[in-house]
Structure 1
Amino acid sequence: MKVLMFGWEYPPHVYGGLATANFGISEGLHAQGDVDITLCLPKPWGDEDRTYARIVPMNCVPIAYRDVNFDYVSSRVGNLMDPHEYYRYRDHIYADFNFMHVNDLGCMEFAGGYPGNLHEEINNYSIIAGVVARSEEFDIIHAHDWLTYPAGIHAKQVSGKPLCIHVHATDYDRSRGHVNPTVYSIEKDGMDHADCIMCVSDLTRNTVINQYHQDPRKVFTVHNAVYPLNDEYNAIPRPDHTNKEKVVTFLGRLTMQKGPEYFVEAANMVLHRTRNIRFCMAGSGDMMDQMIYLAAERGIADRFHFPGFMRGKQVYECLKDSDVYVMPSVSEPFGISPLEAMQCGTPTIISKQSGCAEILNNCIKVDYWDIHALADSIYSICHNDSLFHYLQEEGKREVDQITWEKVGRWIRELYMRTMHWI
């Protein structure tokens, strides 16, 4: 089975949970043994892991004909693409795009990540998808998140192959219901054209059905999973904080959706009962300054740390150095970070309004707005060794069973159903 997959980010260049999920899904599908993935990315850097997918750099796919020699092409595309692939794509250009801003190879440049001209890049990406869809052999299309839905739709129109879209989040979640009409329309258009919609939780599935008015018969829940810790991360020591200050951590985007203010308010309540705890708010976002000011207003700034955005090994060092991990999200489609925390042996508190709450049992669940319950839970884990060790051991045992291979098996079955192979 050949899959043409459209993604926006991929490790080691991680901007959020989308890269982590995209890699995990690729790994899980590869583990099935009969799934070959061609993964399109706007601007790969060349250091991506290509074990589970063949990566197509969309910034090296020509959309305008250029008469260039092989050696020049080779020097320009470097280790991103085999030069022969460039010429194969060039032979499938389907329109005159010379009016676009193309470079000397007839390719469009991408900034990568989430630049100010994001909507322009999404449109450019979808144009290139037409060339790729004409050039590649595949059975089904899989588009990740709203950024790639237009590309998936174009590939479907070009090839006639079925389209699966993967809803990792919706603007309805990100905005607490105050949607950006442009983003909402892109999301809905993708869902309307999709033959199969995969949602990362029942919570997201219900949003897709009720807020985007989709047929429940084509909407399925596909929960995320977590990678096994590699040797490098396993080797990170876990400090013993017995009779020392405890560390309580929030790790995520500092945005309205993630509920950072509830973490600060709960921390304030805990620190009225004990001063022997430090709070770490790791991440970046538009609410960072507001959270720093809030901690200062509550008189707890000396107990708060704001280390900024973390990636890779830094994340696991932070999680292993924590006695409690907290995710108080207001609306979280899934949330992989609690699984990573539990995997590191860190007791975890999550909001009942998160998708991962549907599959996790050995953690504490509270309503995001209930700062009293959140404060009590933090205090209890920090001061009750039996509770700490129970959540530590049982939590790790639980998440070790939540694997991407199982996710890949379910996605493969959904592919088969969508193509009417079963």
Structure 2
Amino acid sequence: MRVMMLGWEFPPHISGGLGTACLGLTRALDRLQTQVTFVLPTGVSAITEEHVKLIAADGTPLPVDDDQEATVQKKVQDQALTAQNIPTDDPSKPQSQPRPSQWTLTQSSAMRHISVRPLESPMVSPYQSVGGRVYDMPPHVQDNIDRARQHLEEKSAAEKIFEAATRDTSSTDGSSTVKKPKPKPKPIKPVYEGDIVAQANAYALQCVHLANDEDFEVIHAHDWMTFPAGLALSAKFNKPLVVHVHSTEFDRSGEHINQAVYDIERQGMQGADAVFVVSYLTRSIVQERYGVDPEKIHVVYNGIENGNGEHTSAIPMIRKGEKVVLFMGRITMQKGPEYFIHAAKRVLEKMRNVTFVMAGSGDQTEAMMDLARKEGIQDKLIFTGFLRGKEVDRVFRMADVFVMPSVSEPFGIAPLEAISHDVPVIISKTSGVAEVLHHALKVDFWDVDAMANKIIAVLKHDALSHTLRVHADVELRRLTWDESAQKCLVIYDKLISDSRFAKTSK
């Protein structure tokens, strides 16, 4: 099997979960003896993944820069309690190493069947920047949840454990004095960085040129930035096209969508021969908001690499006796960081020996720092900036509980990573990962009181924390990239055997 795979991110140069998903899927396809050519925009000066080797187009090895920047913005440093314990690497800073005009990545024996082909397209962020602070819940979200995941309304084993653990400690006084969240202002319409649409079209033209020298049977395009390229390749070479939807414009922007981006998404999904989605939640959006034939939509859950949970060395706590609550992800409206901070405020009203860590970067970072100061908890909240590699492992190992308060999350790989590091998780009900994790506490993202109560319960009740960790780890073992890759191969084979794609010279 020979696959032409198109993507905008590949570790370590990533903005979100897309790059992590691309890496996990390509590793699994490699183990299944699948030949994959991964076409990536240029703008990467060094690859730090141990399983890849960087070489120039003529085969000359290029130097790999192992040095990582150990600083973050001054504002982050000023607010960090012990930020020096969490070295960071800010991907938004310009790379000092000159970039080759053209180069190719080939893997070592760890990934013998995967090659990465970069193109002359500046790598800009596919995620929007936004002026508003609060993300209104998209009106379609609750309807999608009701239709796609009715079983979530039933109490999971984790919820029953939570109720049992907290029944004798629930407070009946003072509950009426808890401040309600302030009314949410109308969000400002998102704006994407640079002319991302023009860059996507330029990438498509370059992909067509590159493909003249490649041999492939199927095209697999990840997210909207690569859909124009996938459509062009499919039309020119008469090859089946699979588009992989990791998020939609409605997830990123609510009802205030960028029409140009939506149009590209819809054209890609309508023109594809198969549409992979990361959850049934996303499936319902794709079917209802983009008018895609349900017969060609296939749910392919994200996974996680087995063996990631072997972390035995101890990490000193941020403060002796402190509990650590972790948020990890892009600090953007979609991820609900303001709800995390509001919940932190309520937790700290009842427990002072807690430190909250926001690991990640995004257009809302400064706004969240301002919100933390406004709430008076800036001395209990650390902003680490963007982390990668070993520093991600390190911060997970510090955590006592992981919280994902996303407003709309197509899947959510971060909770799986947390579980692999033996950390109990609290996740938003508006997330695809909620479909596959039953031993996680689930909460409405806007219900900061419930979120705070569940954080306190996990921190105070060792039995609850232990049960969540043990049973979630069992669930994690069946969420593998190998299973996802196998499902992809089944669809690939079916498409290739279609008479419309009779063998051609290409």
Indicate the TM-score class for this superposition, using the shorter chain for normalisation: 0.7 to 0.9
- Per-residue deviation, 1:47: 3.0
User: Does the alignment pair 1:19 with 2:19?
Assistant: yes
Superimposed CA distance per residue, residues 50-97 of structure 1 (whole angstroms, 9 cap, x where no aligned partner): 96999998xxxxxxxxxxxxxxxxx96686379xxxxxxxxxxxxxxx
Q: Which moved more, 1:132-141 or 1:255-264?
A: 132-141
C-alpha distance after superposition, 1:368-392 (max 9, x if no partner): 1111211110000100011111222
SS in 1 for 2:3: strand
1:41 partnered with 2:119: no
Shift of 1:304: 1.1
Residue 27 of structure 1 aligns to which amino acid in structure 2? R
State which drifts further: 347-356 or 387-396. 387-396
Change (3 A) 1:176 1:56: farther
> What is the CA deviation profile of residues 14-41 of structure 1, one whole-angstrom value per residue up to 9, with x for unaligned ones?
22111100011111222223x2111111
Q: Which moved more, 1:330-339 or 1:124-133?
A: 124-133
Partner of 2:144: none
Aligned-partner Cα distance in 2 for 1:221–1:52: 29
In the alignment, which residue of structure 1 is the partner of 2:326? 249
Partner residue in 2 for 1:404: 481
Moved over 4 A (4+): 48-57, 75-79, 238-243
Give the distance between the partners of 1:333 and 1:147, measured in 2 at CA: 17
Deviation at 1:419, TM superposition (A): 2.5
Q: Which amino acid aligns with 1:36?
A: Q
- Any conservation in 2 of the 1:351–1:367 contact (CA below 8 Å)? yes
Query: CA 1:212–1:135 in structure 2 vs 1: closer, same or farther (change >3 Å)?
Result: same
CA contact (8 A) 2:6 2:40 kept: yes
CA contact (8 A) 2:275 2:296 kept: yes
Structure 2-normalised TM-score? 0.70
Residues of 2 paired with 1:250 and 1:410: CA distance?
31
Partner of 2:104 in structure 1? 80
TM-score, length of structure 1 as denominator length: 0.83
CA distance in structure 2 between the aligned counterparts of 1:175 and 1:225, rounded to whole angstroms: 25
Partner SS for 1:391: helix
How far does the alpha carbon of each residue in 1:196-240 deviate from its partner, in whole angstroms, 9 at most, with x for none?
A: 000011111111100111110011111100123459x73553557
**Aligned residue type for 2:466:** H
C-alpha distance in 2 between matches for 1:238 and 1:350: 25
Q: Which has the higher contact order (CA 8 A, sep 6+)?
A: 2
Separation in 2, partners of 1:81, 1:54: 5
Q: Tell me whether 1:418 sits opposite 2:442 in the alignment.
A: no
> Match of 1:324?
401
Residues 343 and 396 in structure 1, CA contact (< 8 A), matched pair in contact too = yes
**Alignment equivalent of 1:378, drawn from 443, 455, 458:** 455
- For 1:144, the equivalent position in structure 2 comes to 222
Does the 8 Å CA contact 1:38/1:54 hold for their aligned counterparts? no
Q: CA deviation at 1:352?
A: 0.7
The CA deviation at 1:45 is: 4.0
The equivalent of 1:220 in structure 2 is 298
Following the alignment from structure 1 to structure 2, what is the Cα–Cα distance between the partners of residues 260 and 200? Answer: 22
Q: How far does the alpha carbon of each residue in 1:234-270 deviate from its partner, in whole angstroms, 9 at most, with x for none? A: 3553557998110001111111111111111111111
1:123 to 189, 192, 201: 201
Shift of 1:363: 1.1
Q: Percent identity?
A: 41
Query: Number of aligned pairs?
Result: 379
SS of equivalent residue, structure 1 residue 80: strand
Are 1:9 and 1:113, in contact at CA under 8 Å, matched by a contact in 2?
no
SS of residue matched to 2:123 = coil
- TM superposition shift of 1:139: 1.0
Name the structure 2 match of 1:63: none
Within a 5 Å distance, the mapping from 1:80-229 to structure 2 comes to 80=104, 109-114=120-125, 116-229=194-307
Check the 8 A contact 1:346/1:392 in 2, yes or no. yes
CA distance in 1, matches of 2:15, 2:332: 14
Check whether the contact 1:42–1:125 (CA below 8 A) recurs between aligned residues: yes
CA distance in 1, matches of 2:356, 2:100: 48
The SS at the match of 2:475 is: helix
Q: Secondary structure at the match of 2:212?
A: helix
1:268-310, Cα deviation, whole Å (9 max, x unpaired): 1111111111111111112212211211122212211111111
Q: Is the 8 A contact 2:54 2:105 kept in 1?
A: no
CA distance in 1, matches of 2:496, 2:411: 27
Which of residues 266, 278, 290 is equivalent to 2:367? 290
CA distance in structure 2 between the aligned counterparts of 1:298 and 1:213, rounded to whole angstroms = 43
Task: Tell me the distance in 1 between the aligned counterparts of 2:353 and 2:475.
Answer: 30
Say what the alpha-carbon RMSD is for the aligned residues. Answer: 2.7
Q: Tell me, what secondary structure is at the counterpart of 1:234?
A: coil
* 1:344/1:396 contact within 8 Å kept: no
State the Cα distance separating 1:344 from its structure 2 match. 0.2
Letter in 2 for 1:175: S
CA–CA separation in structure 1 for the residues paired with 2:223 and 2:313: 33
1:58-77 equivalences under 5 Å are: none
Could you say which residue in structure 1 is the equivalent of 2:428?
Answer: 351
Please state how far the C-alpha of 1:128 moved relative to its aligned partner. Answer: 1.1
For residues 370 and 105 of structure 2, the distance between their equivalents in structure 1, rounded to whole angstroms, comes to 48
- Contact conserved, 1:36 with 1:53, CA < 8 A, in 2? no
Asked if 1:32 is matched to 2:32, the reply is: yes
The answer to whether 1:271 aligns with 2:348 is: yes
Q: Residues 134 and 158 of structure 1 are in contact (CA less than 8 Å); yes or no, is this contact kept in structure 2?
A: no
- Within 1, Cα distance between the matches of 2:55 and 2:286? 29
The CA distance in 2 between the partners of 1:265 and 1:3, in whole Å, is 46
Greater mean deviation of Cα atoms: 388-397 or 298-307: 388-397
In structure 2, how many angstroms separate the alpha carbons of the residues matched to 1:53 and 1:133? Answer: 22
SS of 1:280's partner is strand
CA–CA separation in structure 1 for the residues paired with 2:467 and 2:318 = 16
Match for residue 3 of structure 2? 3
Offset of residue 138 of structure 1? 1.3
Q: 2:164 is matched with which residue?
A: none
The answer as to whether partners of 2:102 and 2:119 remain within 8 angstroms in 1 is: no
Query: What one-letter code is carried by the residue in structure 2 that aligns with 1:178?
Result: H
- Stretches of structure 2 that go unaligned for 5 or more consecutive residues are 58-98, 107-117, 126-192, 500-506
Residue 126 of structure 1: CA displacement?
A: 0.3
